[in-house]
Amino acid sequence: MALRQKIAVLIGGVGGAKLALGLANLQPTPQLTFIVNTGDDFWHLGLKICPDIDTLMYTLAGVVDPQLGWGIADDTTCVLAGLRRRYAIDTWFKLGDQDLALHLLRTEAMRGEVSLTDFTSAIARRLGITATILPMCEAEMPTTIHTRDHGEMSFQEYFVRRRWQPVIQRVRYGSRQAASVPAPVREALAKADLVMIAPSNPWLSIAPILAVPGMRELLAAASAPKVAITPVIGGDAVKGPTAKIMRELGLAVSARTVASYYDGVIDGFVDDLRNPHFSMDGLRTTRLDTLMTDLERKVAVAQDTLDWARGWVS
Ligand code: GDP
């Protein structure tokens, strides 16, 4: 592999950002490009909000709220308090004041016809991030959740307002009209020495990326090995609704289910030591400790995955 390895990572929010921080702290640091889910993006209070992009940027910039894993550490919530107290607005989506500053700028940029790709790059630079952060596409491709008891709802209605409690019957990935893979994403995939799929939620964070028209074909055409890391450890998700969704969709909660879901996309899978061994035709697997509890563990998971992939490429 190249001296300074080029790694492209398909990634969602809080879970994915743990791996991203590990990769960014490797020595020597690889040339990192994150291709981020924008299926969670939405307009709220007149503002364009990109939760996964922002979580990743705040994490890599070292300003993320360490308890929540999203938002800015020690942020105030004066604007939300004003909305609630003075205007009786239901402030179900938590937005800190400094976080709002970014949404204001992004909304202004979008109105001025700046692309989300260019805006994100400019903000990432401003925040001192050296990795490249790319939205999965420019067109809006909002994820919609079909629930058993409450009909269809937007992603944030399901995820934040209803705290992912409704039972999922089906997930629909954005309207594909006019959506395409942006040129910088194409280039990153074509030039990568390694493509990784972060241990993000396969159904809510990675599937929307794979649903961008042309994305699967580009991945298939990429010469680099493609490796996913399990989000399931010991028969459960580490955090969030991944396991609950699998049960609701009638799937076994296992790493094998995740690997099968990525069938045709990946050629390597990093399972966790705590999971029962499985094998699948045509898929290389390894079992590592993938639990990322602190920075040291995040770096270790990034390094171990790279070492493994290097071993079977060379
Ligand atoms: P979200 O967009 O904020 O929901 O975050 P992601 O989709 O990026 O990540 C959620 C997934 O990350 C969940 O399925 C978790 O099981 C997984 N996850 C969180 N922490 C870890 C960890 O330390 N190790 C592994 N292997 N997976 C993790």
The C-alpha atoms of residue 59 and residue 63 are separated, in whole angstroms, by 6
Cis peptide before 135 (omega within 30 of 0): no
Where are any strands of DSSP class E within the chain?
A: 6-11, 31-36, 42-44, 47-49, 132-135, 144-147, 151-154, 168-172, 194-197, 226-229, 232-233, 236-237, 268-272, 284-288
295 pocket-lining for ligand 1 (C-beta < 6 Å)? no
Do 19 and 194 meet the contact criterion of CB atoms below 8 Å apart?
no
CA-12 nearest atom, ligand 1: 8
- Tokens (6 digits) for 219: 């991945």
pLDDT in the model for residue 102 = 98
Separation between Cα atoms, residue 108 and residue 111, nearest integer Å = 5
- Dist CA 238 CA 244 (whole Å): 12
User: Phi and psi at residue 45, in whole multiples of 5°?
Assistant: 50, 35
16 CA distance to ligand 1 middle (Å): 6
Q: From the alpha carbon of 233, which atom of ligand 1 is closest?
A: 26
Q: Ligand 1 pocket, 205 CB below 6 A?
A: yes
CA angle 206, 26, 21 (to 5 degrees): 45
**Any bridge partners for residue 189, and if so which?**
none
Please choose from 239, 258, 289 the residue to mutate so as to test ligand 1's pocket, defined by most ligand atoms within 8 A of CB: 239
Longest CA–CA separation in the chain, Å: 63
Non-local CB neighbours of 63 within 8 Å, separated by 6+ positions = 72, 73, 127
> 3-state DSSP call for residue 202?
helix
| Location of structure tokens 């879970």 | 15
Contacts 24+ apart (CB under 8 A), 52-55: 52/11, 52/12, 52/13, 52/16, 52/205, 53/120, 53/133, 53/135, 54/99, 54/102, 55/13, 55/14, 55/17
| Residue 176: predicted pLDDT | 67
Is the model's pTM score more than 0.95?
Answer: yes
Tell me the C-alpha distance between 275 and 232, whole Å. 8
Contact 195, 225 (CB under 8 A): yes
Kindly list the averaged pLDDT for each block of 10 residues, start to end, along the chain of length 314: 81 98 97 98 97 98 97 98 97 97 97 95 98 97 97 96 97 86 98 97 98 96 96 96 97 97 97 96 97 98 96 75
pLDDT at residue 2, as a whole number? 55
DSSP symbols for 226-268:
EEEE-SEETTEESSSSHHHHHHHTT---SHHHHHHHTTTT-SE
Cβ of 290 closer than 6 Å to ligand 1, yes or no, is yes
The size of the chain, in residues, is 314
Looking at the CA of residue 11, tell me the nearest atom of ligand 1: 8
Are the C-beta atoms of 147 and 135 separated by less than 8 Å? no
Q: Which atom of ligand 1 is nearest to the CA of 272?
A: 26
